[in-house]
Structure 1
């Protein structure tokens, strides 16, 4: 019998996220100079920072290459930021090899076809509510929240709650 997504959350040590459509709502604003601006959710940022501070490994693997995204993620304490990635599977395998991470301990959130093959390698493939049907079809958990609107917060908070680390983190910060 296969495990429920809540049972799988007990085994998560590592979060891997796509950017566009997961950390953003998938829309871009193009300036007259050609710069592409994205919106990110502050609650997703809080959750990623909480995950890092609680010893989880957080990695970003994206086909996009916006340097503003890199700056935002670094400010949250994320050091494994892979932008402009043509092959997410190769990058994922290199990342897990470097840190000796077992794929069953990884939660990956993606939303579109470029995430499909890497999502098949992880212990807990997840997606936002507005992911494409192919990604929803292989996800063991589909957030009730859309990408860029707090879906990342949803999965991080659930994992940390299952592992008893969510309010522990909050309490420690404000003692």
Structure 2
């Protein structure tokens, strides 16, 4: 980033939509196949809470994935994600279409991915994000690389970053302290 580019905090403060890849971001990228042809993926509940907090505080969340999976559809439904795009290899085209239908500027979108199909969306988004388990050429083009790997809290970390930049994180934490104190 050049010295004239907006700071990370300024970019994060402007985000209205977070779009996420699945394999390698919401999961660790491992695909488990059973002998009967079934497929399994592991999602972390901490990422799930981060997504719910974003949605509850006015940041839309979308999933854009090249694969099709009933498990991803189920997870999106459980978390209240209404924008699910599956089977799309051109992530940037999918992101642009989503932005157009939601009337959100690409500069007000964050995109988090981990591999070559995500590269153009990472580069074009207002806040391009990668995970540390991504190849170097993907990480190098991101505005931010999470400390936590995909499937291990990267989305939660990104959620907290966005909510903090938008001045919401303190009130969220305080709300959980107050809730906990009143339920004892």
Give the whole-Å Cα distance in 2 for the aligned partners of 1:166 and 1:77.
20
User: Would you say the 8 A contact 2:17–2:108 is kept in 1?
Assistant: yes
Tell me if 1:35 matches 2:38.
yes
**Structure 1, residues 54-109: CA drift from partner, whole Å, max 9, x if none?**
11110100011111111111111111011111322221111100011111111110
Q: Which residue of 1 aligns with 2:7?
A: 4
Segments of 4+ in structure 1 off by > 3 A?
A: 169-173
What is the RMSD computed on CA atoms of the aligned residues?
Answer: 1.4
After the TM superposition, which of the residue ranges 81-90 and 103-112 deviates more from structure 2? 81-90
Tell me if 1:94 matches 2:97.
yes
Give the whole-Å Cα distance in 1 for the aligned partners of 2:76 and 2:173.
20
Unaligned residue ranges in structure 1 (runs of 5+): none
Give the whole-Å Cα distance in 1 for the aligned partners of 2:123 and 2:143.
10
The Cα of 1:171 is off from its aligned counterpart by 4.0
Q: Which residue of 1 aligns with 2:162?
A: 159
- State TM-score, norm by structure 2: 0.90
**Secondary structure of the residue that 1:120 maps to in structure 2?**
helix
Unaligned residue ranges in structure 2 (runs of 5+): none
User: Would you say the 8 A contact 1:129–1:146 is kept in 2?
Assistant: yes
Give the whole-Å Cα distance in 2 for the aligned partners of 1:86 and 1:43.
27
**Secondary structure of the residue that 2:140 maps to in structure 1?**
helix
Q: Which residue of 2 aligns with 1:82?
A: 85
User: Would you say the 8 A contact 2:51–2:159 is kept in 1?
Assistant: yes
After the TM superposition, which of the residue ranges 162-171 and 88-97 deviates more from structure 2? 162-171
User: Would you say the 8 A contact 1:22–1:151 is kept in 2?
Assistant: yes
Q: Which residue of 1 aligns with 2:60?
A: 57
Aligned pairs for 1:132-143 (under 5 A) are 132-143=135-146
